[in-house]
Structure 1
Amino acid sequence: MTMASRSLRVGIVCPYSFDVPGGVQFHIRDLAEALMAQGHSVSVLAPADEDTPIPDYITSAGKAIPVKYNGAVARMTFGPRTAARVRRWLKEGEFDVLHLHEPVTPSLSMLALWIARGPIVATFHTALIRSRALQAAYPLVRQSLEKISARIAVSEDARRTLIEHMGGDAVVIPNGVYVDTFAAASANPAWVGTPQAPTVAFLGRLDESRKGLPVLTAAVPEIVRQVPGARFLVAGRGDEGRDLAIETLGPELARSVEFLGSISDEEKAQLLSSVDLYIAPQTGGESFGIVLVEAMSAGACVVASDLGAFQRVLDDGRAGYVFQAGDSADLARVVCEALADPDERARLSALASTAVRQYDWSTVTAQVLTVYEMVLEASRALGGVEEDPSSTRRRGWTEVTR
């Protein structure tokens, strides 16, 4: 029986809370829905407050607490009570494959790695040159890492971090995007620029400096000096970051910047379909660059800092503009250059529209399913998976340790 002809029961563990979702949560959500669209049964275990709206396929593991991690604040849950919930979820799920994300952070994923046995796939998202958090966590999971049947890294940067901090290797399968959804999004007339008043967008958490809003803010005066009508559309949470940006800009320049606050997925697609440029000024800690792929899918021309992950998404600068990370003057120079050359922007956007096809969920899901098939075949060869005579599917041997 082939993978395409049978339905799998897949359990996915998300380490971070859906109260304030970010890239990892969106990746897990979209992967779950892409798998279900192909007929597989999926259950996701994730932290979430009681009043947080979550889809039916997500099981809440309880309230999360904020923890500083990777230059940001992650919301995670841990401890004996959480471990009991993990055990119950694993027992009830009877999963063919257990898919853990970021299993070396003190989180649900680490607990599930300790508790579960059977075909386990792990995805690693973190990309850091040096991580004290990973170095501290490694002794806690060193032996348990041997239980992982296959490792996935979302980028070469994440793969390198895994190798340098924990050893072993991983297959690179990138984050996915529903390319056609962004490509088909309608522009919002309020956000569409003109030659005299082009629009420039930023999307990210405003109070996390590594997301780069201060870099963009410092570039605004020079951009406005050269392009007086330029408008900056800033979307994302973070009142402190917004207030600091307004204070830094001053009343005159602040009129060129519109803070949109938190926006929906539909509004994000509309925003990226409307603007002349999308700016990704992150200063570090990025393993992939999913928002770049979304912007490219929507037809926005991208200007990104020269982080390794971003350059790879932009095909080493052939599908967008690149500037020196953290250098506001260089960002201003590149933005003004891009705004002055609409033909070049159109050329880069066309190249980007082709390049992003490799990140469409149809491609990414097929790659993930290939990994699942590999670990199931290996487990069956070792006697770990047996046929379920009452069903057309195989029954996995993921279980709860006593």
Structure 2
Amino acid sequence: MRVGIVCPYSFDAPGGVQFHVRDLAEELIRRGHTVSVLAPAEDSTPVPDYVVSTGRTVAIPYNGSVARLNFGPVVAGRVRRWVEQGDFDLLHIHEPMIPSLSMLALWVADGPVVATFHTSMERSRALQAISPVVVPMLEKITGRIAVSEEARRTLVQHLGGDAVVVPNGVYVDRFAGAARRPEWEGTDERPTVAFLGRLDEPRKGLPILADAVGPVLAEIPGARFLVAGRGEAAQERAALARYGDAVTFLGGVSDEDKASLFASVDAYVAPQTGGESFGIVLVEAMSGGSLVVAADIPAFQAVLDGGRLGRLFSRGDPLSLARTLVEVLGDRAGTAPVRERAATAVRRYDWSTVTSQVLAVYDMVLSTAHARVSEDPRSRTMFARLRAATQAVTGGGQAATGGNNQATPDGGTQATPAGGTRADRTSAARASGTEPVAGGEEPSWS
């Protein structure tokens, strides 16, 4: 079949949704399907042949993280052309609830549509405010997928309806068969612990780990901590620097090095404070053989089966994390049964299984479809309503999350970069609902 997949987040920066879209597309292609992925990306960013770029993006705070999105009339035109020329049997849209490429595609398209919901959030004033416009649009979706029960709960809570849960996928054997790196391997006297995540995103929990290192070293002086990920985090780096060679910063790591890291260390720590709907990195770590020590947020409790497949500590509590690490690092042999259970359990997340589940949803949707994907003739007037609703929520300004997008002579866009003038950044912030308001709240799309 011919499948069009829409990714709202930029391929310029790695992220969970981008990896999910990439891996699903490649698995579908391996099974003989024709796939085109529509996603934002800079012209200079190398992307696979199956990716069609919609241009540059602007960084927007979203759900405790930073998303790179584009959204506006010029981008809508590109989406329309992609839909018209794609001749798709089915459209698969990711994250249609946020003003992004995915929402535009849902407005533009008519026909068989599957949507995957990745996000977990407690509340969303913006979504509630625009729900009169968004909910009718979501009725165009004929198959709904949530990557976890947490993502499903968010969908039901904010927009109603329901979804089948199909988890994120992992190529389990790539992690299980990864080469070990001697410099990362631990011993009884010098066990190793890995952290992987954006260093400058507080919700990823590096400050929690930084406060736990001292108590761990007091009990296990030879313990080593390997910190992988991009971002500055000057305060945390300074706090960890006082431990000397007990802490090593690896910087950003490749997919190959990530797999080797998980195959080599004794434990992987996930101290996230919230905002996670699944926890794909936990599955990757378990696939590689690491014992996972994770915060007891709902998404991680689900992946670790309440602690059967790893160890849980109290969210946001460095001393609880330290106690748990001391326990598992001091009894490496005793954790073997946990690792064995985890190695078996992760098979259900392998892309061979997950892709079959996604295809089952496709088959269900196509069994009741009466036409292929085409342009919805109502889309031009509906987009005007969406822009008006977005402006009402964000306090006016330009309803385009791609900055000051303007048409150029060649039909492209000229977007103000994130590092533009204060007025430029304020305009983009207003457009996305992220301009700071009185009281210090951040009214982003979370």
* Bin for the TM-score computed over the shorter chain: over 0.9
* TM-superposed deviation, 1:346: 1.4
For 1:39-54, list aligned pairs within 5 A.
39-54=32-47
Q: Is the 8 A contact 2:145 2:166 kept in 1?
A: yes
Matched, 1:364 2:340: no
* TM-superposed deviation, 1:254: 4.3
Q: Is the 8 A contact 1:237 1:262 kept in 2?
A: yes
Q: 1:258 to 1:118 in 2, by over 3 A?
A: same
Counterpart position of 1:258 = 248
* TM-superposed deviation, 1:245: 1.2
Counterpart position of 1:398 = 374
Determine which of 124, 128, 151 is the counterpart of 2:144.
Answer: 151
* TM-superposed deviation, 1:133: 4.0
Matched, 1:297 2:290: no
Counterpart position of 2:261 = 271
Number of residues of Structure 1 aligned to a counterpart in Structure 2? 378
Counterpart position of 1:216 = 209
Matched, 1:94 2:87: yes
TM-score (norm 2): 0.83
Kindly provide the CA deviation profile for residues 210-265 of structure 1, in whole angstroms up to 9, marking residues without a partner as x.
011111111000011111111111111101x1x2212223x431431111111110
Counterpart position of 2:74 = 81
Q: Is the 8 A contact 1:202 1:279 kept in 2?
A: yes
State the distance in 2 between where 1:133 and 1:358 align. 35
Q: 1:46 to 1:308 in 2, by over 3 A?
A: same
Q: Secondary structure at the match of 2:49?
A: coil
Q: Is the 8 A contact 2:131 2:159 kept in 1?
A: yes
Matched, 1:129 2:119: no
RMSD: 1.1
Which residue identity does 2:348 align to in structure 1? Q
Kindly provide the CA deviation profile for residues 316-375 of structure 1, in whole angstroms up to 9, marking residues without a partner as x.
110100001111100000000000111222111111000101100011000000000001
Counterpart position of 1:3 = none
Q: Is the 8 A contact 2:59 2:66 kept in 1?
A: yes
* TM-superposed deviation, 1:137: 4.4
Counterpart position of 1:68 = 61
Counterpart position of 1:56 = 49
Counterpart position of 2:9 = 16
* TM-superposed deviation, 1:273: 0.4
Q: Secondary structure at the match of 2:250?
A: strand
State the distance in 1 between where 2:74 and 2:150 align. 34
Counterpart position of 1:4 = none
Which residue identity does 1:248 align to in structure 2? A
Matched, 1:195 2:185: no
Higher relative contact order (CA 8 A, sep 6+): 2
State the distance in 1 between where 2:244 and 2:310 align. 27
Counterpart position of 1:341 = 331
Which residue identity does 2:320 align to in structure 1? D
Q: Is the 8 A contact 1:106 1:137 kept in 2?
A: no
State the distance in 1 between where 2:293 and 2:247 align. 18
Counterpart position of 1:393 = none
Once the two structures are overlaid, the 10-residue window that deviates more, 26-35 or 140-149, is 140-149
Which residue identity does 2:136 align to in structure 1? Q
Q: 1:170 to 1:225 in 2, by over 3 A?
A: same
TM-score (norm 1): 0.92
Counterpart position of 1:232 = 225
Q: Secondary structure at the match of 2:282?
A: helix
Q: Is the 8 A contact 1:246 1:254 kept in 2?
A: no
Matched, 1:317 2:307: yes
State the distance in 2 between where 1:55 and 1:397 align. 23
Q: 1:227 to 1:18 in 2, by over 3 A?
A: same
Matched, 1:26 2:19: yes
Counterpart position of 1:286 = 276
Q: Secondary structure at the match of 2:335?
A: helix
Q: Secondary structure at the match of 2:68?
A: strand
Q: Secondary structure at the match of 2:259?
A: helix
State the distance in 2 between where 1:218 and 1:134 align. 36
Q: Percent identity?
A: 62
State the distance in 1 between where 2:67 and 2:117 align. 15
Q: Secondary structure at the match of 1:364?
A: helix
Q: Secondary structure at the match of 1:302?
A: strand
Q: Is the 8 A contact 2:83 2:373 kept in 1?
A: no
State the distance in 2 between where 1:136 and 1:36 align. 39
Once the two structures are overlaid, the 10-residue window that deviates more, 73-82 or 127-136, is 127-136
Determine which of 298, 303, 306 is the counterpart of 1:308.
Answer: 298
Q: Is the 8 A contact 1:91 1:400 kept in 2?
A: no
* TM-superposed deviation, 1:91: 0.9
Q: Secondary structure at the match of 2:307?
A: coil
Kindly provide the CA deviation profile for residues 22-48 of structure 1, in whole angstroms up to 9, marking residues without a partner as x.
001101111101111101111100000
Q: Is the 8 A contact 2:41 2:53 kept in 1?
A: yes
Kindly provide the CA deviation profile for residues 63-113 of structure 1, in whole angstroms up to 9, marking residues without a partner as x.
010111101110000001100110111111111110000001110000001
Kindly provide the CA deviation profile for residues 248-296 of structure 1, in whole angstroms up to 9, marking residues without a partner as x.
23x4314311111111100100000000000010000100000000000
Which residue identity does 1:32 align to in structure 2? A
Q: 1:86 to 1:131 in 2, by over 3 A?
A: same
Counterpart position of 2:238 = 247
Q: Is the 8 A contact 1:87 1:400 kept in 2?
A: no
